[in-house]
């Protein structure tokens, strides 16, 4: 009898371990792994500012940094762009960005030819890499664009999920979770930290892939 119990217990433990290690299983741990990369940038926002290119041809492969802008704001620049300029200058003075000013061949429009242009470029310093990040857009294959972040997002709880079902030739589930902010950057406003520290609820669609679950783009 003791041998039978031992064997049964071993089989149960083995089955549980197998389920836990299966990245395609519908489980809290697997869903959390899939959602964490999305939540990490929940407190980041794109920088809405027109940039110059330093390459002969416009390309989607241009890296997010450095941010290259004209040393003098264009006449058509609106209040939002001017606010971003002021923020970049302030971040450089605080050591979050490395600022370089020079005259170099550059162009603004995608079809414009390069010509000597007085530009300012900003590159995140070691201190500022948490605040300024290159983040790809939601569309599949989107290039990274510069974002400013108040901190990191973290998952607090996987609340519930729908039974995985087939749709459009893929297996999908909708997962509801709560998240909040953490690792706030130096200098983040206190009211922003207070608001981001409160858990928020969100729902996301996950798709089962050959190697596990992935957030739908």
pLDDT in tens, 158-167: 999 999 999 8
Closest CA to 107 of 53, 65, 70, 63: 53
| Phi, psi for 38 (deg, rounded to 5) | -75, -45
Tell me what pLDDT residue 19 has: 47
Q: According to DSSP H, which parts of the chain are helical?
A: 2-21, 28-40, 79-93, 190-196
What region, left, alpha or beta, does residue 169 occupy, with left being phi > 0 and alpha being psi -120 to 50 degrees? Answer: left
| Phi, psi for 27 (deg, rounded to 5) | -140, 160
**Residue 119 in contact with residue 101, Cβ under 8 Å?**
yes
Tell me what pLDDT residue 159 has: 97
| Nearest-angstrom CA–CA distance, 51 and 145 | 11
Tell me what pLDDT residue 200 has: 96
Tell me what pLDDT residue 58 has: 66
Tell me what pLDDT residue 59 has: 62
Q: Which residue has the tokens 């130096």?
A: 186
User: Which parts of the chain register pLDDT below 50?
Assistant: 6-19
């Amino acid at each position: 009898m003791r041998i039978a119990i031992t064997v049964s217990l071993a089989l149960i433990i083995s089955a549980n371990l197998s389920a836990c290690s299966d990245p395609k299983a519908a489980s809290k741990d697997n869903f959390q792994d899939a959602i964490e990369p999305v939540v990490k940038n929940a407190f980041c926002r794109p920088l809405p500012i027109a940039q110059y290119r330093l390459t002969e041809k416009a390309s989607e492969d241009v890296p997010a940094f450095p941010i290259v802008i004209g040393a003098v704001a264009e006449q058509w620049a609106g209040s939002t762009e001017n606010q971003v300029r002021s923020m970049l200058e302030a971040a450089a003075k605080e050591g979050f960005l490395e600022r370089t000013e020079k005259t170099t061949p550059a162009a603004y429009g995608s079809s414009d030819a390069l010509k000597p242009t007085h530009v300012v470029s900003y590159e995140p310093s070691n201190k500022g890499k948490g605040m300024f990040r290159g983040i790809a857009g939601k569309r599949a294959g989107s290039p990274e664009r510069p974002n400013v972040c108040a901190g990191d997002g973290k998952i607090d709880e996987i609340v519930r999920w729908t039974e995985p079902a087939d749709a459009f030739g893929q297996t999908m589930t909708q997962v509801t979770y709560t998240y909040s902010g953490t690792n706030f950057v130096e200098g983040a406003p206190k009211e922003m930290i207070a608001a981001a520290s409160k858990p928020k609820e969100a729902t996301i669609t996950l798709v089962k892939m050959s190697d596990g679950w992935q957030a739908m783009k």
